[in-house]
């Protein structure tokens, strides 16, 4: 029977981690570059016992990485269009989001950026209420509750072919990110496990562009300031 994304995928991941300590996940609409696999394998081994890291992602909306030239950077947002993780990171996952009401009143939530709060607050509400059939919002909430980070490649390694009018969730005409490209090896590792807030903010702006009317008002205001 069709259990839906929320139950089927989360229960499948739970089943996987009941049998192995770490795994790479690809859904049926994700098409990885071949270098996605050795990239995941190396980072799974490198951060296996580092509880600061919750996942390794193969997808990126950005055309660049951190300015230090590392092969990947760290985000507060787990990205799941081709990803890898460990059993120890999945522990604490709650598909029902039981802690969300308390989390919304916490200092951890107030520490999120205003755009994160505007974009994710209503989304978490809808997922909690069962209005959105998904499993990954719960994983993001787990990352934010625990302060863990996700490794993001400096170049996109995974195409998402599940966009279009007939798609389950992604109704844009096509994948909005850059085309997949091969990862260069050997990997260059970041100097520390610290969130790249600038890259995170850029990604959030791509996912949550201002409405057209707001853009026009901003442009008119800038024009008045420049031209008088």
Distance (Å, whole) CA 163 – CA 172: 6
Structure confidence by residue, pLDDT tens digits, 185-218: 999 999 999 999 999 999 999 988 876 654 455 4
Fold of 4-227: Spore Coat Polysaccharide Biosynthesis Protein SpsA; Chain A (3.90.550)
In angstroms, rounded to a whole number, what is the distance separating the alpha carbons of residues 5 and 79?
A: 16
Span 51-94, pLDDT tens digits: 999 999 999 999 988 889 999 999 999 999 999 999 999 999 99
Q: Which of 92, 102, 144 is nearest to 120 (CA)?
A: 144
Helix/strand/coil for 170: coil
Q: What is the CA radius of gyration of the chain?
A: 18
Asked whether residue 220 carries a pLDDT value surpassing 90, the answer given is no
Domain boundaries of the chain, sorted by first residue: 4-227
The tokens of 212 are what?
A: 């057209």
Of the two residues 210 and 28, the one the predictor is more confident about is 28
The model carries a pTM of: 0.86
Would you state the structure tokens that stand for residue 5, as one six-digit string?
Answer: 């994304």
Q: Measuring CA to CA, which residue among 200, 204, 78 is closest to residue 142?
A: 78
Distances (CA, A) of 124 to 95, 106, 170: 12, 15, 18
What integer pLDDT is reported at residue 164 of this predicted model?
46
Kind and range of the H or E element at 17?
Answer: helix 4-17
């Amino acid at each position: 029977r069709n259990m839906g994304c929320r139950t089927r995928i989360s229960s499948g991941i739970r089943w996987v981690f009941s049998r192995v300590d770490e795994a790479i996940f690809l859904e049926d609409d994700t098409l990885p570059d071949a270098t996605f696999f050795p990239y995941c394998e190396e980072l799974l081994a490198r951060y296996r016992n580092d509880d600061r890291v919750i996942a390794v992602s193969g997808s990126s909306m950005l055309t660049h990485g951190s300015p230090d030239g590392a092969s990947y950077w760290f985000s507060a947002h787990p990205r799941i269009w081709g990803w890898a993780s460990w059993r120890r990171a999945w522990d604490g996952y709650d598909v029902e989001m039981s802690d969300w009401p308390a989390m919304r009143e916490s200092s951890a939530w107030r520490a999120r950026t205003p755009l994160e709060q505007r974009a994710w607050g209503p989304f978490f509400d809808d997922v909690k209420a069962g209005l959105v059939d998904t499993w990954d919002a719960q994983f993001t909430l787990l990352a934010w509750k625990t302060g863990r980070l996700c490794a993001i490649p400096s170049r996109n390694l995974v195409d998402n072919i599940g966009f279009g009018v007939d798609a389950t969730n992604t109704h844009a005409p096509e994948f909005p990110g850059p085309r997949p490209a091969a990862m260069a090896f050997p990997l260059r590792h970041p100097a520390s496990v610290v969130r790249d807030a600038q890259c995170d903010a850029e990604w959030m702006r791509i996912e949550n562009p201002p409405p057209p009317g707001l853009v026009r008002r901003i442009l008119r205001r800038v024009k008045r300031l420049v031209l008088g």
